[in-house]
Structure 1
């Protein structure tokens, strides 16, 4: 793409992220109203407790569909909202799903216990002997299990591959819940209209999930046939990997985005890593620049030219698509400079780059940044030293220091990428300086 194509986007009534969020919320609200209408017309149970159980069952189905949509990796949503935010919403809505399922199951047991004048335990065991109910119990058990291992305290102690494998059980819960829904609930099959509605909405969600998570990645990899074209050591701990393939000019990647990379011949299929592009796509090659933090990333230096690569993406909303101002500030910390370096190559207008590292020796791609800044008339500030050391303490991202480095910072878009603590500190300072939220762009490049 040319520089003109990446100039300031045409101003519209709503920013892209807001438009996508409202579209998603509107779609959910419309379906929520439909579900309420179906409940009011055909949701009455055998007693009042079972009626409440049906209410929660209907909402559990709808929340599950929203959960799946958020992680379907639909390009239109991802480019506008970003995978990090969609994943964060998926996590919190997941706990809503958990409690909705638990309440549905609890009221079912209590309702039938009241109806049969039996104890809740005996009623639960009796329901487990009914195929439709057993499917629902199994689906609920899977959802509860996944919710437990997704709790922050437990999740941090699990390797990503283990957590991901357990999380895939949600798809089993999906299939079990679908069958349970159509075998058990009169609300789902009460009228031809309700049956058509549920089949239609479930079909749309499942098709979106399969298309975004399976069909699109396979199609792109078969089309582009990515392979390693060069491996370049940038420093003792940092390596750049260049990739080439077929028809890369048709790959809809932008500076600032990332892919989920798999190197099957290097460390197996299940090991996947999100790495940002460290250079703007030029239609011929892609480049990632990786810091060694473990055996897998360290071993990328040993990749052989010609090694096939499987990439999912591009993902992320950390792009110039979200610009609102002519001027831009790019703030990077450590290896978080990689998408910032790519954005610098693409952006037009006045640009200031703030690059935070402990020492000059740790500044990855510094020569490239200097060359790009000189060529584009951008200002580059290398901020070194340990935070809090010295008198006065070294706090480069304190509001006062940010304003000193960029006096008109409130009139620019700010892109921030770095360690979470640094990103949070920068965002807090920007808000203290009165920078509008819509001008702050920060994204976490991670799988979960």
Structure 2
């Protein structure tokens, strides 16, 4: 095994995640202020219901644009905040968007119905038939309602990612329809040349971000690097490592701890994208992923042929040494969650402690590599085996293994139940949140 010695970035008092999050909030707050100014400048209708309806409509437009930025997979944001957190924010702003859109329709319908002396449903039907852009807005609302329904926890757990992702693509159709509605009937949009230029700018930035992060960057990187499978190595009965080569990999901005969305361009799997972490720190010559057979996609990796073309989206993730706050670290891995942990160990200097939690020794994939790497780096390695109960990473057990736990950064990756239990333990031990680093695979459409 070849160990790549790379100097880890020193811990910094300036937390990249805080900087990025504060920047996003500041940009959003500034845009809210600008929208409020243009709304007031356009004047108010005599009917309070219409005023509220227009304001909720503008809020919906701003939220929709913000949502696009959250899922654009822009590298600067992704490296500092992480796709999982950005996806979580996208989900909650999505429900906010749904409610503001419904409020917009309700208040506008009741407001205009009050002036016309008809019912709100009759007025809405009349607006759809006589006012340019209203029918398109109703179609956009219907699409967003469908997307909101499949984004609920119950539906999301029962849909294949590809199905959910395909339905989610209709959100872009809804965005275009909503924008054309705003152009056609938005009083604030047309109130002044400055307001018109502002809204065109907002939508250009939002849609441009998606085009850049989701289309241009992946196509450019794959065209440049020409990824191919160079080796397929079984690690155990149900775990396999896939080695990837390509051109100019030293120019690929990948870090230990990150993951890619991998598409192996075979006849039956080209359409399926799977998120797998790098299981070795990038060395400029090759990449390696290691996956456990948990479904058809991951099980099929064992049968890949050398030379298979690969389309890789990424690198993604904030689970890197960029977020270190302390000179010393604790790495906790569970099961196949050892893959990014093993890669991170290559990037860390200082007195590092590694805890690898598995049910039995036969489940400890990559353990020989981890042991050799820990020896080479001067790290302390603990293999913890046994059933989930009793909890062998409970507070007293964890402090026994790592007495100076509170003075270390903690990097955690493993199955969700194990991660949740360890996070509770770290909370019980009063480990500061800024020293705890973890990431979940949450993919936004």
TM-score normalized with structure 1 length: 0.96
SS of the equivalent of 1:156 reads helix
Structure 1 match to 2:15: 15
Instruction: Tell me, in whole angstroms, the C-alpha distance in 1 between the residues paired with 2:179 and 2:269.
Output: 33
1:337 Cα offset (Å): 0.4
Instruction: Tell me, in whole angstroms, the C-alpha distance in 1 between the residues paired with 2:165 and 2:182.
Output: 26
SS of the equivalent of 1:422 reads helix
Structure 2 match to 1:346: 347
Structure 2 match to 1:391: none
1:41 Cα offset (Å): 1.3
SS of the equivalent of 2:189 reads helix
1:43 Cα offset (Å): 4.6
Equivalent residues in 2 for 1:220-369, closer than 5 Å? 220-265=221-266, 267-369=268-370
Instruction: Tell me, in whole angstroms, the C-alpha distance in 1 between the residues paired with 2:58 and 2:43.
Output: 9
Structure 1 match to 2:73: 73
1:7 Cα offset (Å): 3.6
1:45 Cα offset (Å): 2.8
Structure 2 match to 1:105: 105
Does the CA contact (< 8 Å) of 1:331 and 1:340 recur in 2?
A: yes
Structure 1 match to 2:146: 145
SS of the equivalent of 1:246 reads coil
Deviations 1:349-399 (A, max 9, x none): 1111111110000111000000001111111111111021xxxxx312211
1:200 Cα offset (Å): 1.1
1:434 Cα offset (Å): 1.2
SS of the equivalent of 1:203 reads helix
Structure 1 match to 2:189: 188
SS of the equivalent of 1:356 reads strand
**Distance 1:3-1:375 versus aligned 2 partners, 3 A rule:** closer
1:158 Cα offset (Å): 1.2
SS of the equivalent of 1:310 reads strand
Q: Higher relative contact order by CA 8 Å / sep ≥ 6: 1 or 2?
A: 2
1:445 Cα offset (Å): 2.3
Does the CA contact (< 8 Å) of 2:134 and 2:181 recur in 1?
A: yes
Structure 2 match to 1:175: 176
1:3 Cα offset (Å): 4.4
Structure 2 gaps, min length 5: none
1:102 Cα offset (Å): 0.4
Structure 1 gaps, min length 5: 389-393
| Count of aligned residue pairs for this structure pair | 441
Instruction: Tell me, in whole angstroms, the C-alpha distance in 2 between the residues paired with 1:420 and 1:94.
Output: 24
Structure 1 match to 2:37: 37
Structure 1 match to 2:388: 387
SS of the equivalent of 2:142 reads helix
Instruction: Tell me, in whole angstroms, the C-alpha distance in 2 between the residues paired with 1:131 and 1:420.
Output: 49
SS of the equivalent of 2:280 reads coil
